[in-house]
Amino acid sequence: MTPTPGTPAKRQSGSTIRIIQLAIGAVAIAGIFWLLQFSTNSICCGDYDGYYHIKWSRSLWEGMKAGKFPPEFPWLPLTTLNSKEYVDHHLLFHIMQIPFAEFSDPRKGAKVASVVFASLAVLSCYWLLIYFRIRFVLVWLVGLLASSIPFMFRMNMAKAPPVAIVYLVIAIWLFFKKKYWPLLPLAFVFTWTYDLFVLLLLATVLWVIVIAWTERRFAWRPLVWVILGCVAGLVINPYFPQNFRQLAEHMTIKLTMSGFDTKVGSEWYPYDSWEFLGNSAVACVAMVVGYCAFEPSERRRAHYPLFLLLFSTALMIMTARWKRIVEYWPPFAIMFAAFSLQAWLRPGFASYLTRLPDHVLEELKPYLDDTKEKNDWREWARVIGAGIVALVLGVVLFFNLWAATEEIGHSETHDHFEKGAAWMRANIPPGQIVFNTDWDDFPRLFYFDPTHYYVSGLDPSYLYEKNPDLSRLYDRITLGKQDDPGPLIRDRFGARYVFSDNGHHDFFDKARASGWFDIVYEDTDCTIMYIRDEPILDDLLGLPDEP
């Protein structure tokens, strides 16, 4: 794929152009992510996990300064994330966030960190295209940015997937350069950063398959280095051996191909077909283009596009099953199309076509005359075509950014639950368990009120893994399917206070009918209730018709 270097002057000119292209890309990418991230004043986007990550990064640093690494995590005592079993499977990501967590306003630090990590993720993909001299690279840059609305949306979450993309791009570069031993430290670092290091294992297996097909040999070295690195990252780990247990439990629940045993985040459910196609139209078109342009007949040239074909196809299938893989698939779909099309876009296109069957060549012969005039015409045609594609992608990018900005702008504001949490800090003795009626409210509660502990958080599977019966009871209570929930909350969960957003109408109906609850705080965002020692009559309870 890499052309002959040429004269020193040409090499210097080419290097300068590539540096300029990279700089243009860096500015454009960072500007777009800054625009998206600051479309809301809260930590973006959709879910609240960013609040947990930045708060825990700060707690991690405070623990390190106090000589305790890692510090205890007592905030979810009824789950597998209790203080004895807690495993931070984002450990290195949280360490990376520490400089941002030290901002006077951690919220702003998390937002800046999100822009940095998301920009690095897309920039790494763009850099790979530049490094391998992909033609019309600025067009592919627009394609990366326009590839998918959910991709751009989820890249803005203050979470680890952008860093995982950077690691995967580094691994691909090492595969393509056949530099295998650095895969060991890369796998080690990846394992410490995020539990989806399994994607690196998948990529390595696919590269071994590519080498077997193109070179007729078994390339065992990359597989060995990656496996050793992953095992070392799991064993040489402050959470060993609990991390093995949590990884196995997490994979068992999340990688099921059937229904889940407990309610999980929407990101673990499949896309509706039209939603999938509509939100990621550019990535879908890129896959079709890549499939059509892929030329496997010359094995020496097939390494790069064949690997990206296999890897992007695997990610696309996983995205159709689990929405969250949309954090990975779109940029690799664009890179697959970019590498597959290079044989058709380079100036030697006519010689490339000479591999066609003789009877087809005979018909095309008048058009394959390699005179300078015809070559110039073909080049101009490519440039004009690239310009048209860039224009279309630019329009798509504009509408994608508009849609993403609108969606992000409708996120809950930063002060959502802040007043309720402040009331709990001031009025509930520290160290008590608070029954939160939504597991996904935990990150904000943890951020605003770390003086109390909570029943469920980060993922409902953690409560289910620890105590399936208690998890099912939690679901019945919070969904309003359990009569007289007060004594059960008090006795089974050890909580006297209930924190709820104001959307749990069925739960509130049961609470009103039971007579066990007193409202002690309420605002437009949340309601806090106290469980009485004895029930009172409904007409004396004082609960409003609508919480």
For 45, residues 6+ apart whose C-beta sits below 8 A from its C-beta are: 153, 154, 156, 157, 407, 408, 411
| CB contact at 8 A, 64 and 433 | no
Q: Which residues of 59-84 are buried (b: 16+ CB within 10 A; e: fewer)?
A: bbbebeeeeeebbebebbbbbbbbee
**Whole-number Å distance between alpha carbons of 541 and 519:** 9
- pLDDT of 218 reads 93
- pLDDT of 351 reads 46
Both 388 and 470 in one domain: the answer is: no
Both 435 and 379 in one domain: the answer is: no
Quote the domain boundaries for residue 445: 418-541
Tokens standing for residue 544: 């409003």
Of 408, 436, 456, which marks where a domain is finished? Answer: 408
- pLDDT of 347 reads 59
**Whole-number Å distance between alpha carbons of 189 and 192:** 5
- pLDDT of 420 reads 97
Tokens standing for residue 455: 């029943």
For 2, residues 6+ apart whose C-beta sits below 8 A from its C-beta are: 132, 133
Q: Give the three-class secondary structure for 434.
A: strand
Within-domain flag for 547: no
- pLDDT of 360 reads 53
- Tens digit of pLDDT per residue, the chain (547 long)? 444 455 666 667 778 889 999 999 999 999 999 999 999 999 987 678 999 999 999 999 999 999 999 999 999 999 999 999 999 999 999 999 999 999 999 999 999 999 999 999 999 999 999 999 998 999 999 999 999 998 998 899 889 999 999 999 999 999 999 999 999 999 999 999 998 899 999 999 999 999 999 888 999 999 999 999 999 999 999 999 998 988 887 777 656 545 444 555 556 566 666 667 777 899 999 999 999 988 766 555 678 999 999 999 999 998 888 877 888 999 999 999 999 998 777 655 444 554 555 555 555 555 555 555 555 666 777 788 888 989 999 999 999 999 999 889 888 999 999 999 999 999 999 999 999 999 999 999 999 999 999 999 999 999 999 999 999 999 999 999 998 999 999 999 999 999 999 988 999 988 888 889 999 999 999 999 999 988 886 444 444 544 4
Distance between terminal CA atoms of the chain? 64
Q: Taking the CA of residue 32 as centre, how many other CA atoms within 13 Å lie in the half-sphere pointing to its CB?
A: 28
Within-domain flag for 9: no
Crossing angle for the helix pair 137-146 and 106-131, to the nearest 10 degrees: 140
For 292, residues 6+ apart whose C-beta sits below 8 A from its C-beta are: none
Both 447 and 383 in one domain: the answer is: no
Both 399 and 435 in one domain: the answer is: no
Both 315 and 435 in one domain: the answer is: no
Within-domain flag for 40: yes
- pLDDT of 542 reads 47
- Amino acid 133 reads R
User: What is the 8-class DSSP label of residue 431?
Assistant: T
Both 400 and 282 in one domain: the answer is: yes
**Whole-number Å distance between alpha carbons of 461 and 526:** 24
- pLDDT of 331 reads 96
Cα-Cα-Cα-Cα dihedral sign, residues 330, 331, 334, 336: negative
Of 385, 408, 431, which marks where a domain is finished? Answer: 408
Of 351, 385, 408, which marks where a domain is finished? Answer: 408
Both 396 and 469 in one domain: the answer is: no
Within-domain flag for 4: no
Nearest 5°: the CA angle 37, 39, 41 is 85
Within-domain flag for 245: yes
Both 219 and 92 in one domain: the answer is: yes
Sheet strand arrangement including 433-436: 453-454, 433-436, 495-501, 526-531, 517-522
Both 201 and 166 in one domain: the answer is: yes
Residue 529 CB neighbours (<10 A): 25
Cα-Cα-Cα-Cα dihedral sign, residues 119, 122, 127, 128: positive
Both 393 and 424 in one domain: the answer is: no
Both 122 and 26 in one domain: the answer is: yes
Residue 503 CB neighbours (<10 A): 12
| CB contact at 8 A, 345 and 133 | no
Both 436 and 506 in one domain: the answer is: yes
**Whole-number Å distance between alpha carbons of 196 and 186:** 13
Within-domain flag for 358: yes
| CB contact at 8 A, 456 and 477 | no
Tokens standing for residue 328: 């990975």
| CATH code of the domain in which 461 resides | 3.40.50
Number of domains in the chain: 2
- Amino acid 486 reads G
User: What is the 8-class DSSP label of residue 43?
Assistant: S
**Whole-number Å distance between alpha carbons of 442 and 51:** 9
- pLDDT of 371 reads 54
**What is the value of pTM for the model shown?**
0.88
